[in-house]
């Protein structure tokens, strides 16, 4: 197996982007990533595109071919990858494995979703839950995560304010990110007094409905200096599954696919949670950010709420969590999120993150989750500062 490095990254602005079509978004991200890698289109050997549900949001399937054509990259192989909100993380993983195996040399991993073209995004998003046992009974993702929040509060005494604190952190960091959907700060009071969505979660606990795309170029680590002065090395790429439906889980306060993928990732990288300087975690709802910082081993189970309250996950805290603003403030165009998370860690490690720069970071971890954790994808990235 060959070591793999990231040599190019890009992200479109996330938000309600009426003036841009599905294909415009992903082509823009792809071209920017190729430029960032100092490559030309003809250098790319293959591409993997994360997309959750183009069929339901914009009526478009056969996305690999569409993107290859509109980015001018035919006839290279172009493959769509789908695992709900973890589609982007898995597309990146496919690209990494293709290079590691020696099958291809320079591969693009992209992710895209255009969610705002439908009047109500909720039924399309609910297709990522268990159709028969959850979605058809009227259960939605806000309500599934609301149950997890209630159980966390019951088992560990986590307060409503601590959960809201995760959304406040996202907006604080997002306010410094020019590509974020929401570039404004919010308060705990604002979260607690915002419109009720599924008790105890309010609208300001939720990631928004978003349009956007992101792209990454990977190549063999020993060739990376041909394309960039600052390669970002892939130290681990792991994936795990858990039950798609929540009722079949032993616990509602932990996500077993995260635990499994994280253990594999730390073993693969020969690193521990304490070695991580920052993390981009999947806070589709504020409670999921809180659960993620426990499941990734940054804090003991049940202590995530206190860590948020104590400021331990701020940019200058013990570990900088979601310096991009996370799904809450950067936005969550489902298929693009896993790619955008790794792009953010790359900018941070290259020290190109502008006002939201985390100082002295040399390693970071991403956690991209599909549904309520039916799929989890984790990447650990590091930079060589000599
Ligand atoms: N955070 C902050 N502000 C939000 C927001 C969010 N999550 N969602 C909407 N808003 C704002 C809008 O910008 C708009 O502001 P404006 O009036 O100043 O323009 C206002 O709230 C109303 O927006 P609207 O689009 O009518 O909200 P909505 O009620 O249709 O949607 C949610 C709100 C929470 C239902 C929707 O954001 C949602 O479904 N989020 C979860 C997405 C999801 O499930 N992703 C997958 C996770 S597994």
Per-residue model confidence as pLDDT tens digits over 224-259: 999 999 999 999 999 999 999 999 899 999 999 999
How does pLDDT run across 2-28, given as a tens digit for each residue?
A: 999 999 999 999 999 999 999 999 999
Residue 298 sits in the same domain as residue 150? yes
Q: With contact defined as beta carbons under 8 Å apart, do 379 and 236 qualify?
A: yes
* Span 266-291, average pLDDT: 98
Is the same domain home to 98 and 165? no
Ligand 1 contacts CB of residue 164 (under 6 A): no
What is the CA angle 343-122-329, rounded to 5?
35
The total domain count for the chain is: 2
Nearest to residue 48, comparing CAs of 111, 114, 113? 111
179 and 112 within one domain:
no
- Do residue 69 and residue 165 come from a single domain? no
Instruction: Residue 246: name the closest of 320, 326, 146, 319 by CA.
Output: 146
Q: Which of 74-78, 159-163, 381-385 has the lowest mean pLDDT?
A: 381-385
Same domain, 182 and 53: no
Give pLDDT, residue 196: 98
Q: What pLDDT does residue 119 have?
A: 87
Res 131: pLDDT: 93
Q: Is the C-alpha dihedral spanning 117, 26, 183, 344 positive or negative?
A: positive
Q: What share of the chain is helix, strand, coil (3-state, %, to 5)?
A: 40, 20, 40
In a domain, 272, yes or no: yes
Q: What is the CATH number of the domain that holds 300?
A: 3.40.47.10
User: b or e along 203-212 (b: 16 or more beta carbons within 10 Å of the residue's beta carbon)?
Assistant: ebbbbbbbbb
Boundaries of domain holding 217:
4-120+209-226
| Per-residue pLDDT tens over the stretch 349-381 | 999 999 999 999 999 999 999 999 999 999 999
284 Cβ inside 6 Å of ligand 1: yes
User: Half-sphere exposure of residue 90, counting CA atoms within 13 Å on the CB side?
Assistant: 22
Do 277 and 188 share a structural domain?
yes
- Number of other residues whose CB lies within 10 A of the CB of residue 103: 11
Residue 144 beta carbon below 6 angstroms from any ligand 1 atom:
no
Atom 44 of ligand 1, nearest CA residue: 141
Checking if the pLDDT of 386 tops 70, the result is no
My answer on whether omega of the bond before 200 falls inside 30° of 0, hence cis, is yes
Q: Mean pLDDT across the stretch 42-65? A: 97
Ligand 1 pocket check: which of 18, 208, 287, 338 to mutate, most ligand atoms within 8 Å of Cβ?
208
Q: Sheet holding 278-280: strands in order across?
A: 78-81, 46-50, 107-114, 211-220, 4-11, 232-241, 375-383, 363-370, 278-280, 320-321
- The domain boundary, picked from 226, 253, 275, lies at 226
Write down the pLDDT at residue 272: 98
Task: Assess if residue 57 is contained within a domain.
Answer: yes
- Rounded to whole angstroms, the Cα distance separating 229 from 300 reads 38
Q: Which residues pair with 80 in a beta bridge?
A: 49
Nearest to 114 by CA among 42, 29, 219: 29
Question: Active-site residues: which are they?
Answer: 85, 332
List pLDDT tens digits, range 142-198: 999 999 999 999 999 999 999 999 999 999 999 999 999 999 999 999 999 999 999
| CB 332 less than 6 A from any atom of ligand 1 | yes
329, 174 contact by CB (below 8 A): yes
The answer to the question of residue 386 being in a domain is no
Q: What is the pLDDT of residue 385?
A: 75
Residues 76-96, mean pLDDT to the nearest whole number: 98
Contact (CB, 8 A) for 85 and 18:
no
């Amino acid at each position: 197996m060959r070591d793999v490095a990231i040599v190019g990254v890009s992200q479109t602005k996330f938000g309600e982007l009426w003036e841009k079509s599905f294909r415009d978004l992903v082509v823009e991200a792809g071209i920017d990533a190729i430029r960032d890698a100092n490559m030309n289109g003809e250098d790319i050997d293959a591409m993997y595109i994360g997309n959750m549900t183009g069929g339901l949001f914009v009526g478009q399937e056969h996305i690999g071919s569409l993107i290859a054509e509109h980015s001018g990259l035919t006839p290279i192989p172009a493959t769509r990858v789908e695992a709900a909100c973890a589609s982007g993380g898995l597309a990146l993983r496919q690209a990494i494995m293709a290079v590691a195996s020696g099958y291809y040399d320079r591969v693009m991993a992209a992710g895209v979703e255009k969610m705002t073209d439908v009047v109500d995004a909720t039924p399309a998003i609910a297709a990522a839950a268990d159709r028969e046992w959850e979605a058809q009974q009227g259960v939605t993702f806000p309500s599934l995560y609301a149950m997890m929040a209630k159980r966390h509060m019951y088992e560990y005494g986590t307060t409503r304010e601590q959960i809201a604190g995760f959304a406040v952190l996202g907006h604080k960091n997002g306010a410094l990110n020019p590509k974020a959907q929401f570039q404004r700060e919010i308060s705990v009071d604002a979260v607690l007094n915002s419109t009720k969505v599924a008790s105890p979660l309010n609208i300001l606990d939720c990631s928004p409905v978003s349009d956007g795309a992101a792209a990454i170029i990977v190549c063999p680590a020993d060739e990376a200096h041909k394309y960039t002065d600052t390669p970002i090395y892939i130290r681990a790429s792991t994936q795990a599954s858990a039950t798609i439906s929540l009722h079949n889980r032993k616990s509602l306060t932990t996500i077993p696919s995260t635990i499994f993928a994280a253990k594999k990732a730390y073993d693969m990288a020969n690193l521990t949670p304490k070695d991580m300087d920052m993390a981009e975690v999947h806070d589709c709802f504020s409670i999921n950010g809180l659960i993620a910082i426990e499941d990734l081993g940054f804090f003991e189970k049940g202590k995530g709420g206190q860590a948020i309250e104590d400021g331990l996950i701020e940019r200058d805290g013990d570990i900088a969590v979601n310096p991009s603003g996370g799904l809450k403030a950067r936005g969550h165009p489902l298929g693009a999120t896993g790619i955008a998370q790794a792009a953010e860690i790359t900018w941070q490690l290259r020290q190109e993150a502008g006002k939201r720069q985390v100082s002295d970071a040399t390693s970071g971890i991403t956690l991209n989750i599909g549904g309520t954790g039916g799929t989890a994808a984790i990447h650990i990235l590091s930079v060589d500062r000599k």
